C-alpha cells in the first residue's frame, strides 16, 4: 500500500486546448457554461480573459461572454472552473458577436475588468 503523500500532484500548467470545452460552474455547483476560448496577451505572456458560452441549447443560440481570467477558479472536484457571477451580471455584461473573440483594443478590455471589479492583470 502506498502512502498518499507519494501520489503525484496534479500539474499546475495546462495546455490551452485542454481548457477549451471545460465546464464553468457557479458557486454551489450549477453548470452555467463552457470555456470556448482563452485570449492571451502576446506581449505580457498572460491570459487576459476566457470566453464563456452561456445560454442557448445544444450550442444553438449561445452567447459568448468574456470573463477576466482571475475570476475563474479551477475546482478538481467539479472537473471545471467555478465563477461567482449572477445571471443578471451576465445579461448586462459585455459580450461578443459570434466568432469575433477579440475586443480589439485595451479600452474595451479595461471596461470588462471594471464591469466585474477586477484590476488589470
Please count the residues of the chain: 121
Cα dihedral 42, 74, 78, 86 in deg (nearest 10): -80
pLDDT tens-digit map of 25-61? 999 999 999 999 898 888 888 888 899 987 655 555 5
- Grid coordinates in use for 68? 477576466
pLDDT band for position 3 (cuts 50, 70, 90): low
Q: What confidence tens digit (pLDDT) does each residue in 7-31 have?
A: 566 667 788 888 999 999 999 999 9
Q: Does domain 4-116 have CATH number 3.50.20.10?
A: no
Task: For residue 121, give the nearest of 63, 52, 38 by alpha carbon.
Answer: 38
Global pTM value: 0.79
- CA gap 85, 42 in Å, rounded: 27
Which pairing describes strands 31-41 and 23-26: parallel, antiparallel, or unpaired? antiparallel
Amino acid at each position: 500500500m502506498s502512502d498518499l503523500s507519494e501520489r503525484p500532484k496534479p500539474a499546475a500548467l495546462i495546455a490551452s486546448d485542454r481548457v477549451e470545452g471545460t465546464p464553468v460552474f457557479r458557486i454551489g455547483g450549477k453548470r452555467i457554461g463552457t470555456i470556448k476560448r482563452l485570449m492571451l496577451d502576446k506581449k505580457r505572456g498572460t491570459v487576459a480573459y476566457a470566453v464563456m458560452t452561456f445560454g442557448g441549447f445544444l450550442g444553438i443560440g449561445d452567447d459568448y461572454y468574456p470573463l477576466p481570467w482571475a475570476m475563474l477558479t479551477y475546482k478538481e472536484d467539479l472537473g471545471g472552473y467555478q465563477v461567482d457571477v449572477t445571471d443578471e451580471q451576465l445579461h448586462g455584461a459585455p459580450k461578443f458577436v459570434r466568432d469575433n473573440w477579440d475586443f480589439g483594443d485595451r479600452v474595451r478590455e479595461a471596461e470588462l475588468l471594471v464591469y466585474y471589479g477586477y484590476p488589470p492583470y
